[in-house]
Amino acid sequence: MSEENYIVFDQYLANELSAEEKANFEKQLSQDQEFAASFAIFKELNLHLENKFGNKEELNAFKKNIKSISKKHFKVKKSKVISFKPWQYAIAASVAILMGMFFFQNINPSFDDYNNPENAYFTERSSVNENLKLAEVAFNAKKYKEAIPYFETILKENKSPEIQYFYAVSLLENNQYQKAETNLAEIKSGTSVYKNKANWYLALSKLKQKEYKSCKEILLTIPDDFEDYDQVQQLLNELD
C-alpha cells in the first residue's frame, strides 16, 4: 500500500476530504479489497493511539511532534495523482512504521500472555462431593464451559470465595464478562486469600476486552505483596 493512501485514510477519518473525494474514496473501499483491508488496519492503529494517549489533545500533540521530526528526516516524493503538503509524505512513512510495529511487534499486551490460571485441587479435601470432583477435572483440563454448570450447582450450597473464584475464571475463559466480573468484584470486596487474585483477573478481563485504560486502573489498585506482583508490573509497563 502506497504512502499516499495512508494520507488519504487520515484525511478521510479527519473529515478533510471534499464531497467528491469522499464519494470516490468510499467507492474504492467497496471495490478494492486490498484498499479496504489497509484502511481497516489504519483505523485500528488510530484506535490504538487514542487508547495509548488517553485523549485527543495528547494524540494531536504526538502527531504534531511526528510531523516536526519527519520534516527533518524524510525526503518528499512527487505524487502522480494527488497534490499533498510536503510533510504528509513524511508522516505517511511514519504511519507505515507505526503500522509495522502494531502488527509485527504486538504493541498491545495480549490476554493470552498473562492468562495462566492455577489448577484447582478440591479433591485434596477430606469431604468432597461428586460435582466438586467433576468441576476440578473439567477446570484443570481447560474444559471451562463444561466446568461452569458444576460450579453453579456447588455454589448453591457452598458459596466459598475459592469456588466462586474458579467459577469466575471459567466464565471469563468463555467470554461471559459481566458474570465473571460480578463474581470477581464480590471476592475482591471480601477478605479471603483470593481477594488480590480476583482483582488481578478483573484486570485481565478488561485486557481481554481491550479496555486498556480500565485494565491499568485496576492494576494500580493491586498491592505489592500480591504473589504475582511481577506480572502486574510487567503488564503496567506494557500498557504505558
pTM of the model: 0.58
Q: What rounded mean pLDDT belongs to the chain?
A: 80
CATH number of 132's domain: 1.25.40.10
Domain boundary among 50, 79, 104: 104
140 with 190, same domain: the answer is yes
pLDDT digits (tens, 9 = 90+) for 143-155: 999 999 999 999 9
pLDDT digits (tens, 9 = 90+) for 27-68: 988 988 888 888 887 787 767 666 665 556 655 665 555 545
CA distances from 238 to 27, 52, 80, 105, 215 (A): 39, 10, 41, 12, 11
Domain boundary among 49, 69, 104: 104
230 with 121, same domain: the answer is yes
The domain containing residue 8 runs over which residues?
3-104
How far apart are the C-alpha atoms of 183 and 205, rounded to whole Å? 12
89 with 128, same domain: the answer is no
63 with 131, same domain: the answer is no
Domain boundary among 65, 80, 104: 104
